[in-house]
Copies of this chain bind each other. A is one copy, B any other.
Amino acid sequence: MGPIGVFDSGMGGLTVLRELHRRLPAEDLLYFGDTARVPYGTKGERTVQAFAAQDAAFLVNRGVKLVVVACNTASAFALEHLKKILPVPVLGVIEPGVQAALACTRGGPVGVIATRGTVNSGRYQELLGRSIASTRVLARPCPLFVPLVEEGMIEHPITRLSVAEELEPLRGAGVDTLILGCTHYPLLKDVIGRFMGPDVALVDSAETLAAAAAALLQERGLSRDPDAGPGTMEFWLSDIPWKFREVGARFLGRPIDDVQTVNVNEAHWDGHLSLGREETP
On chain A, which size bracket covers the interface?
A: 35 or more
For A144, list chain B residues within 8 Å (CB). 144, 147-148, 151, 158
CB-based contact B47/A117 at 8 Å? no
For A35, list chain B residues within 8 Å (CB). 43
A42-B116 contact in complex given A37-B36, A144-B158, A158-B162, C-beta closer than 8 Å: no
CB-based contact B157/A161 at 8 Å? yes
CB-based contact A43/B241 at 8 Å? yes
A42-B241 contact in complex given A37-B36, A144-B158, A157-B161, C-beta closer than 8 Å: yes
For A38, list chain B residues within 8 Å (CB). 42
CB-CB contacts below 8 Å: A7-62 with B: 35-38, 42-47, 50-51, 54
Among A47, A238, A280, residue most surrounded by chain B Cβ atoms (within 10 Å): A47
- A147 to B153 alpha-carbon distance, docked (Å): 14
CB-based contact B238/A47 at 8 Å? yes
- How many monomers of this chain does the complex have? 2
- A90 to B265 alpha-carbon distance, docked (Å): 24
CB-based contact B280/A44 at 8 Å? no
CB distance from A190 to the nearest CB of B (A): 19
Interface string of A240-281 (1 = CB under 8 A from B): 111100000000000000000001010000000000011011
A205 within 8 A of B: no
For A89, list chain B residues within 8 Å (CB). none
For A243, list chain B residues within 8 Å (CB). 116
A63 within 8 A of B: no
Among A37, A116, A150, residue most surrounded by chain B Cβ atoms (within 10 Å): A37
- A147 to B151 alpha-carbon distance, docked (Å): 12
A174 within 8 A of B: no
Partner of A117, one of B141, B143, B157, B242: B242
For A241, list chain B residues within 8 Å (CB). 42-44
A44-B239 contact in complex given A120-B281, A158-B158, C-beta closer than 8 Å: yes
A199 within 8 A of B: no
A227 within 8 A of B: no
CB distance from A273 to the nearest CB of B (A): 9
Can you list the 10 inter-chain pairs with the closest CB atoms, starting with the nearest?
A: A47-B239, A147-B147, A116-B242, A37-B37, A36-B47, A43-B239, A44-B240, A44-B239, A143-B151, A158-B161
